[in-house]
Structure 1
């Protein structure tokens, strides 16, 4: 492998990519199952966060940034593995499906760039709702304050259509 190829982090040997993929998946599980335990509270635009990161008092945008990072981080190593397996299958063929190093490099750069934009978009646009206190003080959500977690509230409570909730409960539970 040339010195130029060593600088590109997505030109690792496949076993290193498997290890990196495993590490990112462990980070994903550790983040979503322990660090930030999220529970959706339907029909409200609310997530209840019960993990240690939420009890520290971080802002909603910081918590959602960590969640977004944990969700997108496993994608590049996995896509690199897919490209590697694809190329290994076609190594001794003259198929048009073979991809050059330049195409693979630009595919990975495009993927990583779009994932970075995704994380920044989540951090920027996941601001708390303007009706945060109104939603938090509703009787059906007030008991969550005693548990010690944090409510991540998105959107506007006036858009909640309880007739759709009745339709959902009558079709699913009856």
Structure 2
């Protein structure tokens, strides 16, 4: 999926869109939303497990028990599922979309590359999809701070006991918690910010922006989103003590 600024919409160049050019927009939207959002509950669950392994064994003032974690996870997952459904329900094209398809830019894109274009309206007017954009913003505000605060506190716990003699197990847990803290920072940079800009610019009239600026923004957002998994993998590798020793030997 690629943004079509200044048009509020997406260009799908994937296998399904090329195989079925007339695929219904709601199918494209639901599949795209699931691909983007499905990683969040898994990452949130792993973060909670790391938090529990670090904080539960300490005299912690700020401790979120497993029952509370499960409640948070269920609520967060429900919010994310709602987003997937909203992508399909609110991602409908307007009745005048054929006029937009006949504009030189969109027509040339489809004639030369094929694929599927989903457009929600004129620049600055995303139609019903604007409600989904606001829902995404609200979801980020509700979910991200909880994960961040829990890992920040876990980081403080680790620092407070670094001076003390700890077992090998604690050292491994602390190292893993540090890695996940860095992972959260990478998620904010390579997932949250690009996603917010990716969708947020659809409710803004960017047709008045300089073309060169849009030419930079479009690929930059996709590059950042595409690098998320690579950066997270590199963090795990670079923080692995065995890999560090092997790398140092060279």
**TM-score interval, normalised by the smaller of the two chains:** 0.5 to 0.7
Query: Counterparts in 2 of 1:55-134, with a 5 A limit?
Result: 55=18, 56=20, 57-134=22-99
Matched, 1:54 2:13: no
Deviations 1:19-77 (A, max 9, x none): xxxxxxxxxxxxxxxxxxx2222211232211121121321111010010111111111
Distance 1:71 1:161, change over 3 A: closer
Equivalent residue for 2:114?
Answer: 148
SS of the aligned residue for 1:45 comes to strand
Q: What TM-score does the superposition give when structure 1 sets the normalisation length? A: 0.68
SS of the aligned residue for 1:47 comes to strand
Alpha-carbon shift at residue 158 of structure 1 (Å)? 8.1
Q: How many residues are matched?
A: 134
Alpha-carbon shift at residue 156 of structure 1 (Å)? 2.9
SS of the aligned residue for 1:77 comes to helix
Deviations 1:116-160 (A, max 9, x none): 111111110000133211111011221123222111111235855
Equivalent residue for 1:42?
Answer: 5
SS of the aligned residue for 1:127 comes to coil
List alignment gaps of at least 5 residues for structure 1. 1-37
Structure 1 ranges of 4+ moved more than 6 A: none
SS of the aligned residue for 2:42 comes to helix
Output the aligned Cα RMSD. Answer: 2.4
Of Structure 1 and Structure 2, the greater helix share is in 2
List alignment gaps of at least 5 residues for structure 2. 126-204, 217-250
